[in-house]
Structure 1
Amino acid sequence: MTISFDWLKTLFPTTLPVAEVAALLTGSGLEVEHLKDVDRVPGGLRGVVLGTVLTCARHPDADKLSLTTVSVGDDTPRQIVCGAPNVAAGQRVVVALEGATLHPTVGEPFKIKKSKIRGAASEGMICAEDEIGLGTSHAGILVLDTDLPDGTPAAEYFNLGADTEIEIGLTPNRADAASHYGVARELRALLGEPAHLPDVSAFAAPREGAGIEVVIEDEQACPRYAGLLLEGVRVGPSPEWLQGRLRSIGLSPINNVVDVTNFVLHELGQPLHAFDADAITGGQVRVKRAVAGELFVTLDNVARTLSASDLVIADANGAPMALAGVFGGKVSGVSDTTTRLFLESAYFAPAVVRRTSQAHGLKTDASFRFERGTDPYMVPTGLQRAALLLQEVAGARLAAPVVDVFPHSIPASPVTLRLDRVHKLIGQEIGEGRIREILHGLDIRIEAETQEALGPVWQLEVPPYRVDVTREADVIEEILRIYGFNNVALRPHNSASFLSGFPSPDPEVVRQKVAALLSGQGYQEIITNSLTNSLYFEQGEERDAALVRILNYNSQDLNVMRPSLLHSGLEVVRHNINRRQRDLKLYEFGKTYEQTEGGKYKERTVLALYLTGHAAAETWQQPSRKTTFHDLAGAVQQVLAALGHQAPASQPVQHLGLAGGLTLLLQNQPAVALGAVSPVVLKRLDVSQPVWYAELDWDWLLKKYKGTLTARELPRFPEVRRDLSLVVDKAVTFEQLRSIAQKTEKKLLQAINVFDVYEGERLAAGKKSYSVSFQLQDPGQTLTDQAIDQVMQKLMQQFEKQAGALIRK
């Protein structure tokens, strides 16, 4: 919500600087998110002052130019060349000094520089109104009638002082502060100084006259409705002061009628609506529920289908003219030819407006306030304020008495306040007198006082516009808010009798973190059906799966709960491949189901990854490349690293749907299965190309999630790399070699990696060669050749002893 500080001061006069006002509002709960200085006109007329033309003579080298000297309030008059036909000695004028930047009404801004015009020096510019952005006339320079001294800033003369936008992050419960007057009331409570409503004492409606009749058919939805008929209205542009007020809070002026209703809404918080009175059939306004299914064209020219829950403003025939509290209708809207207005000011039930606003997707300034709760007793004031403004800016004439239908008054909310409870919840005594002052500033009346054993008890009446204050605790919060949280003293020694618990990581946050990681690598998330076809699992190597069968299935293809995400994901892969989308990177978080031996059911969450096709598109720089096991393994490793797991152990995969691959072990627990999907499974699902698949036990990984970061000092000494070529039996895996190395050297060995594997004619049958790199580093000193050789000797001995390795030298 945007508040103009200059506008605010018309309701709450204050000499406090805007920053101090912002701090007060933030401390009381109306959080000021930022302050922004704004100019009434572009540039704010900085560097433009009042001056007096001392002399004026014809330019010696130009018939249409004048050579003038101008006093601008200092000791040195300026010589200025002026082309205006009306310039003359003795005039009070507007002068742009050297260095000023002017923003004309039409055209680009330009900077005033000292120059020579037809050989004569010119040290400024005498301005016309269009040259400083104040109008459109270029007939001549502005000639002023003023006693202000030379050198007075022009912005001060034109009353164009800079304003400040106060951007408030309004919480939903503070509808009372959704206007300039609402903020003024808040400052009244904080500072104890009066806030002023606009003067409407001049309002005088006629006692007689044929007006518009108002009939409320649903008093629960519309407890109060007031209206006024105005004639002789001239629709046109608003005066500059009104346009300026609206622009100061980021609104664009439309016409004088709409601008007045917007002005009153943002000034008083009371939404208004203006109807073209000639479009109100039968001279009657009916506040009623809509007929289900009827069409209504709103001001945005959209035909909307209404429901029986919508509250509408209708004419005598029941035809809707507006969605109550939300949006007006096209037929009854104000146009340039409108001369008679029916001005509406009402109070609508918040729930009714909220339901209509959400159902039709219409969010307006009016619905924003109505659905949070407005002040039913501001209805007549808002109507009178708008009527007076329309008389001023549109020539309107009051044609009939005010119609104010208010069948049942809306009482203040009764609340019992115990003063001992106030002091207990606040944590210190703040004094009965100060509490009375705060309540008075908040318009909360003390209706009765009694004395009980624990202290005074007051019966309060909270004004209806404070819809969020309904309980004793609410009132105490209000007292503390105005008293100031910072004024509650802390004890010299604070302690607690318990230790705060360390909450478990939010599963959804962790899931989103991993999803974002995979999406960033080009994977796309899919969601598949938890029901699948039992035929996938009753053939071949998967026939022993403990299936959870559906007793009352509707389709033979969806008759079991899936024991794995593999097949449902492959259906997605097949669907895309059949439509020539062959390069796929997919992932899914989903549940699997199985039946245990005891007849119970087990449900677990897994993360599945699917990879097929090419790793990257072919370009002129490189050919396309098929995806490999290592592409998938790299993605899995990054997921594990994001969850706090590094360098898992591995063993051959035993997943029924995979033809080969690895099972990754974390804390000796199988956590991930990854590899190539079995050709039997691919054929069964009619998938025409190889697919790599990984399945992560998400429940277990989440349980072991390490969300904390570990920081350590960066190493100050360099690392050293050494390579070995090992000839071993084909059955020996790299995982075995890595395990041997890590157990042999735990201090200096930082990393181990295989960079080449060879099997061929140059090796004996049943043998293969690993080329392995070792990264060594001592955090405390630079490694010597002797220390490095000792480590490598130990490693070679253990490789020979435990793996039967032949070291190729």
Structure 2
Amino acid sequence: MKISYKWLGELIELTETPEEIGTLLTATGLEVENIEEVESIRGGLKGVVVGEVLTCEKHPEADRLKITTVDTGLPEPLHIVCGAANVAAGQKVVVATVGAVLYPTGSEDAIVLKKSKIRGALSEGMICAEDELGLGTSHDGILVLDTDLPNGTPAADYFGISSDYLIEIGLTPNRADAASHFGVARDLKAVLDREIKLPSVAEFKVTDQSLTFGVSVENAEACPRYTGLTISGITVAESPEWLKQKLQTIGIRSINNVVDVTNYVCHELGQPLHAFDAAKVDGNQVIVKTVEAGTKFTTLDDLERTLSDQDLMICNATSPMCIGGVFGGADSGVSNTTTAIFLESAYFSPVWVRRTAQRFTLKTDSSFRFERGTDPNMPLFALKRAALLIQEVAGGQVTSEVTDIYPTPIQDFSINISYRNIDRLIGKSLGAEKIEQILTGLDIKLEEKTDAGFVAIVPPYRVDVQREADVIEEILRIYGFGQVELSESLSSDYLSDFPVNDPEKLKMRVSELLAANGFYEMINNSLTKPDYAALLGEQAEQSTVKILNYLSEDLSVMRQSLVFSGLEVIEHNINRRQRDLKLFEFGKTYNLINEKYSEKERLAVFLSGNTQEESWIAKSKESAFHDLAAVVSQVLAAMKIRSTEKQEADGTIFQYGLTLSINKKPVVTFGLLKSAITKKASVKAPVLYADFDWEYMLKQYDSAVQYREVPKFPEVRRDLSLVVDKKVTFEELRQVAFKTERQLLRSVNVFDVYEGVNLEGRKSYSISFILQDDQQTLTDKVIDKTMSRLIANYERELNAIIRK
């Protein structure tokens, strides 16, 4: 946001330099990024003076050149060679002296005047033409002045050239209240304890009611307040110099006197306005409403846009004229033939304006302010201020009563404040008097004051101050962070309640676990290629979230899985001869399902290459499925997730793998990625991938410590070898075991698997069982009985053959 130092000084007395003001604003949270001197004529004509030609003689060596002597107020006249045909003795002229820097019209390069010899004659400066000074485009001859100013008078004084300072503020989204010179002045008022001098509107009056419009608001949700009036008898022309210069200082191009006034008031008070050509308002009706979806509308940039039924429009009796709070229409704006206008000043809903601005990718000065939240109490004052300025620069009279439709006034925010919390969060006791002084300076009233606290009444333009912590932050930023002394021991405090299970702490726990196992964390872009979605299945392709204003086709959709961004990182590293990779990422995925957007956080783990480097003591070992399974088990254990259901992974992206679930909801799916998936990211090496539903894992985490007494009685191990069908998995064997014996069985483990020619269509498992009783020592009778039941169930349910 750009602020003029001189303009700001018209609203509040400034005795400080621009640099000092920049320091004060930065300290209050309005970070000043740059301060730059701005001149109405580039260079400010420094070193250029008014002079008088004393003599003018023909150059002996050139027919078109003349040798002159010029009085510039110095003890001795300057010798200047001039090529202008109209130069003559006795003229008052503009002289650029040696060392002056000129910026000619149409040139970006500067000219630095030097003493020189031209055809053998000494030249100690230059008598200037209009274009050489940057004042215009004429080069017909030198400028001849009609003035009695003494010789040596700076040319800047003669031409009325002014300079100003441009203060650029990096405005954060929450500080919509400071998006104007008045808004910045309010912060300085609180810091410097000075009064603001707002322009008066006391002279506003309605001359007659010869041009009245019917105004109605059909959508009060989108437009809570709408004001307007008509001005007749205006003359649309070029703006006066003072208005053009102020707009030019903050980088706004002058259009005409009426439009320039609306821009001026917008940047002065933070209230956008719009002027309609009254002759183009059909039926003398102004209707604020939505229109039928699919309606075509041409905006000021001559682009035809298709409206939705969620776009608020300012309409006349027959058609739309303007997109409310965003952009004007091509057919209803002010032109050189306009003689009467309808002037609008309104408060539009930030939600409605933001939605429309994003739909059309339109970012205007108006939408910038409305979508962040303007002051609902400002439209009427700004309307009268703009009407007076238009009458000043374009003539005319107000020819209608002021329309002010405001059925449900927006109330101030009421917030309970405790002195204890103020002292606790700031880290210093400021005292009730100082606190009241700061808040009063910020237009925040104090009511129901007691020794313990008060009720803060916050004006509605401070959309970012709605909680106790926000008010305390306001006190601290005006008091000054630098004025709070550091104590011997540093500590912090807060008002918020924190969950028992802190998601960030749990994320850090898992991150440290993975890092300890040799994994590197990735942070990838959430934008990705649209053709990845087709590889994730038909449903994924249909639920893609597309970017409206994407910068490239490769970054035009939001990712629906972390797999492809991870594969791109793997491809990047492999191309740089880093083939043994262990990577993980916490990231979000995005979907559009039934016209509703969803955002979910997931954890992705990747393994590729070798898990063990080659050395003299061991051979290199390629990453295997069970290496990834071990990592998955560690992550689940860290999150206290132990009892899970297992099933084969869906074959959409996995060649093989497992899905672990709780209550039939998947927690993690992991396995070997299909070659078609890896090749899409130009990865030729095998890649193992685990996809965790991090949000679901957080819900399953229980911070309560679970423990049981250390068993007093010994455990017993029994082994069993059995031959089963090749399709039978160890998981099925484990489930049968625990279904058979729930009390004594502690664990089941497979320690050998054999498949051979002599076991066609079958395989052999060697399994160990750990049995234990917490109440007594197990006897051989109990152990044998348990093992007999296990054998019987294996034979009956899985058709197993027990190897004796």
TM-score (norm 1): 0.63
- Paired AA for residue 22 in structure 2: A
What pairs up with 1:48-87 in 2 under 5 angstroms? 48=48, 50-53=49-52, 55-59=54-58, 61=60, 67-82=67-82
What pairs up with 1:653-664 in 2 under 5 angstroms? 663-664=622-623
CA offsets, 1:412-434, max 9 Å, x none? 22333333432232221213322
1: CA distance between counterparts of 2:509 and 2:149?
71
Distance 1:45 1:650, change over 3 A: same
Does the residue aligned with 1:167 lie in a helix, a strand or coil? strand
Determine the structure 2 residue equivalent to 1:779: none
CA offsets, 1:564-621, max 9 Å, x none? xxxxxxxxxxxxxxxxxxxxxxxx9649xxxxxxxxxxxxx9969999xxx9xxxxxx
Distance 1:638 1:247, change over 3 A: farther
The Cα of 1:482 is off from its aligned counterpart by: 0.5
- Paired AA for residue 351 in structure 2: A
Does the residue aligned with 1:383 lie in a helix, a strand or coil? helix
Q: Which structure 2 segments of 5+ residues have no match?
A: 494-503, 540-560, 585-605, 632-654, 656-671, 695-804
- Paired AA for residue 455 in structure 2: Q
- Paired AA for residue 481 in structure 1: R
Matched, 1:468 2:464: yes
2: CA distance between counterparts of 1:5 and 1:67?
45
Distance 1:308 1:649, change over 3 A: same
Distance 1:69 1:173, change over 3 A: same
2: CA distance between counterparts of 1:142 and 1:385?
40
The Cα of 1:33 is off from its aligned counterpart by: 2.3
Q: Is the 8 A contact 1:53 1:68 kept in 2?
A: no
Determine the structure 1 residue equivalent to 2:488: 492
The Cα of 1:119 is off from its aligned counterpart by: 5.0
Q: Is the 8 A contact 2:610 2:622 kept in 1?
A: no
Determine the structure 2 residue equivalent to 1:422: 422
2: CA distance between counterparts of 1:526 and 1:511?
24
Q: 2:686 aligns with which of 686, 694, 701?
A: 694
Determine the structure 2 residue equivalent to 1:637: 580
Q: Is the 8 A contact 1:413 1:470 kept in 2?
A: yes
Q: Is the 8 A contact 1:53 1:88 kept in 2?
A: no
Matched, 1:29 2:21: no
2: CA distance between counterparts of 1:296 and 1:409?
31
Q: Is the 8 A contact 1:292 1:306 kept in 2?
A: yes
TM-score (norm 2): 0.63
The Cα of 1:315 is off from its aligned counterpart by: 1.0
The Cα of 1:372 is off from its aligned counterpart by: 1.3
Does the residue aligned with 1:105 lie in a helix, a strand or coil? coil
2: CA distance between counterparts of 1:136 and 1:490?
61
Determine the structure 1 residue equivalent to 2:229: 228
Does the residue aligned with 1:190 lie in a helix, a strand or coil? helix
2: CA distance between counterparts of 1:606 and 1:383?
55
- Paired AA for residue 508 in structure 2: P
1: CA distance between counterparts of 2:607 and 2:36?
43
1: CA distance between counterparts of 2:574 and 2:186?
64
2: CA distance between counterparts of 1:668 and 1:610?
18
The Cα of 1:150 is off from its aligned counterpart by: 5.3
CA offsets, 1:274-311, max 9 Å, x none? 11111101111111222333222222233333233322
Determine the structure 2 residue equivalent to 1:406: 406
Distance 1:210 1:417, change over 3 A: same
What pairs up with 1:350-429 in 2 under 5 angstroms? 350-429=350-429
- Paired AA for residue 479 in structure 2: Y
2: CA distance between counterparts of 1:278 and 1:407?
29
The Cα of 1:94 is off from its aligned counterpart by: 3.0
Determine the structure 2 residue equivalent to 1:777: none
What pairs up with 1:700-779 in 2 under 5 angstroms? none
Q: Is the 8 A contact 1:52 1:150 kept in 2?
A: yes
The Cα of 1:54 is off from its aligned counterpart by: 6.6
1: CA distance between counterparts of 2:367 and 2:376?
15
CA offsets, 1:166-186, max 9 Å, x none? 222211211100011111111
Determine the structure 2 residue equivalent to 1:304: 305
The Cα of 1:349 is off from its aligned counterpart by: 1.9
1: CA distance between counterparts of 2:83 and 2:438?
63
Q: Is the 8 A contact 1:632 1:694 kept in 2?
A: no
2: CA distance between counterparts of 1:34 and 1:65?
46
2: CA distance between counterparts of 1:254 and 1:74?
43
- Paired AA for residue 476 in structure 1: I
Does the residue aligned with 1:693 lie in a helix, a strand or coil? coil
Matched, 1:215 2:204: no
Distance 1:459 1:610, change over 3 A: closer
Matched, 1:292 2:293: yes
Does the residue aligned with 2:354 lie in a helix, a strand or coil? helix
1: CA distance between counterparts of 2:468 and 2:64?
79
Determine the structure 2 residue equivalent to 1:557: none
Distance 1:699 1:456, change over 3 A: closer
Q: Is the 8 A contact 1:28 1:484 kept in 2?
A: yes
Determine the structure 2 residue equivalent to 1:648: 612
2: CA distance between counterparts of 1:104 and 1:469?
50
2: CA distance between counterparts of 1:472 and 1:610?
48
1: CA distance between counterparts of 2:567 and 2:114?
69
Distance 1:30 1:227, change over 3 A: same
1: CA distance between counterparts of 2:490 and 2:150?
62
> How many aligned positions are there?
588
- Paired AA for residue 469 in structure 2: A
1: CA distance between counterparts of 2:536 and 2:127?
80
> Larger deviation: 477-486 or 137-146?
137-146
Distance 1:633 1:193, change over 3 A: closer
2: CA distance between counterparts of 1:303 and 1:188?
45
CA offsets, 1:527-578, max 9 Å, x none? 664579xxxxxxxxxxxxxxxxxxxxx9xxxxxxxxxxxxxxxxxxxxxxxx
Determine the structure 2 residue equivalent to 1:503: 508
The Cα of 1:400 is off from its aligned counterpart by: 3.1
1: CA distance between counterparts of 2:178 and 2:265?
14
Does the residue aligned with 1:636 lie in a helix, a strand or coil? coil
- Paired AA for residue 6 in structure 2: D
Distance 1:184 1:406, change over 3 A: same
Matched, 1:458 2:454: yes
2: CA distance between counterparts of 1:511 and 1:363?
40
Q: Is the 8 A contact 1:100 1:112 kept in 2?
A: yes
- Paired AA for residue 255 in structure 2: I
1: CA distance between counterparts of 2:567 and 2:463?
47
Distance 1:645 1:434, change over 3 A: farther
CA offsets, 1:677-734, max 9 Å, x none? 9xxx9xx99x99x99532245679x9xxxxxxxxxxxxxxxxxxxxxxxxxxxxxxxx
1: CA distance between counterparts of 2:355 and 2:123?
66
1: CA distance between counterparts of 2:469 and 2:370?
25
CA offsets, 1:75-122, max 9 Å, x none? 443223445577676765432111323222245643323234565422
Determine the structure 2 residue equivalent to 1:742: none
Q: Which structure 1 segments of 5+ residues have no match?
A: 533-553, 555-587, 592-604, 616-629, 652-660, 703-809
Distance 1:117 1:342, change over 3 A: same
Q: Is the 8 A contact 1:212 1:285 kept in 2?
A: yes
Does the residue aligned with 2:52 lie in a helix, a strand or coil? strand
2: CA distance between counterparts of 1:60 and 1:369?
63
Q: Is the 8 A contact 1:246 1:263 kept in 2?
A: yes
2: CA distance between counterparts of 1:631 and 1:194?
65
Matched, 1:478 2:474: yes
CA offsets, 1:740-762, max 9 Å, x none? xxxxxxxxxxxxxxxxxxxxxxx
Q: Is the 8 A contact 1:412 1:461 kept in 2?
A: yes
The Cα of 1:366 is off from its aligned counterpart by: 0.6
- Paired AA for residue 612 in structure 2: P
